[in-house]
Copies of this chain bind each other. A is one copy, B any other.
């Protein structure tokens, strides 16, 4: 690891004074209220063009920037939408959704702030978010309970939206049907004549919010048939995959749902190195429909997942902020369909 050398901290001199709106008012020769009207572009008050210009020039000369927190204290609420960062690195699919959402919220004049709640439990995290007084909070997958929603609302959040498999009391919910991902794979494998299905369960923490409902979905698809499901714990490491591949034939499986495309690539390589013929001996299916699946040989079968549009979610947030007393909205917003290629 490259080191940054440690250096002693000298006793701190006073930092330079930060210019305030009072300084701007003094330099421009106007009242503080006028400064506020001009810089916040209020149309309710008529202010002459020369005065406007004087205020802008004074602000520029002093390097004055309005204080968002002070403005929100005056207004009684902020335009800040808080999105806690997910605990797992976001994949390409989710990253694109987030950036579309940020863009759409910016267009509606909200400031989007992402906040890492690492190491906090659910209710502590909600309290930390509440201290920032966001006007709305969007929480991905499992990070919030009913108590947390209550804390946020009591601190002035007008809208709390969760993205996950389950509803949380008091919050708007976009239901992401992870169960449906597994279900579509189960139906596909049954139709291809497979009966002994392995399901990869990643050992990395944080992924159980996705893997557990996906496993349930596979089970649901196979219910009432003679097909069986075998859980296969797997770490995202070559060694772990090699060990699983080494005992593959003793498991007697004819197919595997590998959780997602990246785990599928890892496992497929290990199986091929063991001489397992794909798909003849074992069918392999991933999920997420990443490009890498098309680059593998045989080409990887996968599940194409549709997230809601960031713009629709931004509009839901805006609607909820303007009508904080409304009934929580619940929408099922997940599309899952199998993409059949060569590996199954």
**CB within 8 Å of B: which residues of A?**
1-7, 9-10, 12-13, 15-16, 18-19, 62-70, 72-73, 78, 85, 89-90, 92, 95-96, 99, 102-103, 106, 111-116, 118-119, 127-128, 130-133, 150-151, 153-156, 158, 174, 236-238, 265-266, 269, 291-292, 294-295, 306-309, 312-313, 315-316, 319, 322-326, 329, 331-335
Contacts and interface: CB of A to CB of B under 8 A. Distances in A.
Contacts of A95: 89-90
A72 B18 CA distance: 14
Given A2-B334, A69-B72, 4 more contacts: A4-B308, A9-B322, A12-B323, A63-B151
Contacts of A295: 238, 265-266, 269
A3 B265 contact: no
A90 B90 CA distance: 8
A325 B15 CA distance: 7
Nearest to A105: B116
B238 A6 contact: no
Given A103-B118, A323-B9, A316 B4 contact: yes
A78 B306 CA distance: 40
A237 B291 CA distance: 8
A130 B306 CA distance: 36
A30 to B, nearest CB: 21
Contacts of A106: 116, 118-119
